[in-house]
Chains A and B, each alone.
Chain A
Amino acid sequence: MLYIGGQRKKNGQPTDKRGRVRPPYFGLFCLALFFFVVIFAELIAPFDPYEGNLQNTTLPPCWQEDGTTEHLLGTDMLGRDVLSRLIHGSRISFLISVGCIGFYGTIGIIVGLISGFRGGRTDMFIMRLADFWMSLPAIIVLFILASVHGPSAQTIILTFGIMGWPNWARIVRGETLSLKERDFVRLARVAGCGNLRIMFSHILPNVINTIIILATIEMGGIIVLTATMSFLGLGTQPPSCDWGLMLAEGRQYITYAWWLVTFPGVAIVIAVLGFNLTGDWIRELLDPKQKLQ
């Protein structure tokens, strides 16, 4: 959905002596850290992210005066431990983002397969529709949905689902078009396979590579966007520990509680860098011919 646009060529990658692309160690580290935290959140978070001790509100991080080592990154305005909230927040970010990509990705894949497979008028119509759809900014759909449905995490996922499919549809359609003419598809037809079966059992598996690349690349952007929407108040609602929401809540205290707005942002940046750097590298590996954006 992130219309980065145009064709991107390889040449932004650091290479080793033999010209092969070196793995992005920092990016992989960030990604690993992110997934580790997502999976083991309950085990590593020192406190419950939703329970606050009102005796200990807005404590600074441990290295500052007045900070304690109990709350490494301090506490927020309700006495909740910032570090624990960040850790659990990763899970929220992850789930929402995966929900979004899952939703619009599925629609995009199905539409792309149908469009590419059937060709002709259907294809033309769908592609025109996709073009038209892509030109509308997602924010207006967000406002409409949030007004009608109320702001929530589901609203965000719904918005992405509605607005995000055209890009994937177009890419999957491209792949389908070229795969359609290949021998193994012809053989499947001769063997008597119906259209649906060919689409899903034969063509789809070959498109998986592209889908993986797309998902990894876009994940970073989705995390930022969903955090932005929560920051604005149009997405996840309190008392959730969504990173964007944490930042929004912390804004009021910016003059004396700088840690409330700094660390959530750092968490976002680490997660996003992990996906962006890794995504670029994966594209290198799986798509040497630069068929993708």
Chain B
Amino acid sequence: MTNKKAPKNHSEKVLAVTDLKTSFFTKKGVVRAVDGVNFTVDRGEIVGLVGESGCGKSITSLSIMRLVPQPAGKIVAGEVLFKGEDLLQKSDEEMRRLRGDRISMIMQDPMVSMNQLLTVGYQLGEVFKYHHPGNGGSLRERCVRLLEKVKVPSPERRLDDYPFQFSGGMCQRVLIGMGIANNPDLLIADEPTTALDVTIQAQILKLMKDIQRDSGTSIILITHDLAVVAQICTRVLVMYAGRIVEQAPVLTFYKNPSHPYSVSLIRSVPVLGHRADRLFSIGGQPPNLSNPPPGCRFAPRCNKVMPICWEKYPPEISIAENHQISCWLYAQD
């Protein structure tokens, strides 16, 4: 295992999210996809954001970028401080200038994220063209260097190819290239390895670790795969039904998972060499986000549920240094 300690030379917070709420206004009601999310990201950290499908992880990242799908989606409350400035107050043009330059994102399926009618070189060049044109050589040279950085072979030739001529793994590297081109302060990676095979997965993760080490870029890694988290993250945020239920440094999380949901998640990962008669899975379904219950949202599926869990939502408290949790098991009433 590599060194997991995040460099603490600048302990400024790159990102500080406070009480973020994003809802979708649909035919069937208002869906509160992100319902009060609080977390921070330090410089140079790799933070893992885990949770099952539909818990709101992707919407959280889109909210930070201010690219929530419209017209149904809308950020209804909260504060997103990026290097001290609230992104939710910025104008569209100011946000556009930040995107691709200081904050960047990589998405899950590389094949659909690329425009099949434009060359890879052109799409790569866009990220330079609209932010720092004329810095450090011609567009083409900079693209070639970028492809070299993400280890795409024969970069010169491949710039003129179209995305459908690339394999999934190569495409993802190109997208990562787009993400890091301008050395952003924050990179959000939304399930970057889910659509790829396991062998490629390892390469991509290593690439991301190298990026963090070389340029000090902070990374938010969104995933539902705990193995991925274990490999490169320094801190873990567990999200459930639109809220964060536990936050801890990664070693602490694996040694001492405290929230019942986190415990179930870890237990769900089958362990090699350990025979079991059936795979563990958490019974039940996540709650309906258009009509969330008043108490803890995990209550129906929790094996340690108590009466108070059904009545009131547990407050977030610290049970150790850097370890926060929202669960009545730990809150002193």
Contact = CB atoms under 8 A, between A and B. Distances in A.
Interface of A: 18-20
Interface in B1-32: 26-27
Counting contact residues on chain B (CB < 8 A from A), the size range is under 10
4 contacts: A18-B27, A19-B26, A19-B27, A20-B27
Interface of B: 26-27
A37 to B, nearest CB: 36
A20 B27 CA distance: 6
Nearest to A21: B27
Contacts of A20: 27
Nearest to A15: B27
Nearest to B29: A18
A19 B26 CA distance: 7
A244 B26 CA distance: 45
A19 B30 CA distance: 11
Contacts of A19: 26-27
Nearest to A18: B27
A18 B290 CA distance: 14
A19 B31 CA distance: 14
A14 to B, nearest CB: 14
A182 B191 CA distance: 33
A240 B27 CA distance: 49
B240 to A, nearest CB: 28
A103 B204 CA distance: 59
A118 to B, nearest CB: 31
A20 B29 CA distance: 11
A18 B30 CA distance: 10
Contacts of B26: 19
A241 B26 CA distance: 50
Nearest to A11: B71
A18 B28 CA distance: 7
A19 B27 CA distance: 5
Of all A-B residue pairs in the complex, the 3 with the closest CB atoms, nearest first, are A19-B27, A20-B27, A18-B27
Nearest to B71: A11
Nearest to A20: B27
B30 to A, nearest CB: 11
A220 B26 CA distance: 32
A146 to B, nearest CB: 45
B132 to A, nearest CB: 38
Contacts of A18: 27
A18 B26 CA distance: 8
A79 to B, nearest CB: 57
Contacts of B27: 18-20
A289 to B, nearest CB: 14
Nearest to B27: A19
A65 to B, nearest CB: 55
A20 B28 CA distance: 9
A284 B123 CA distance: 37
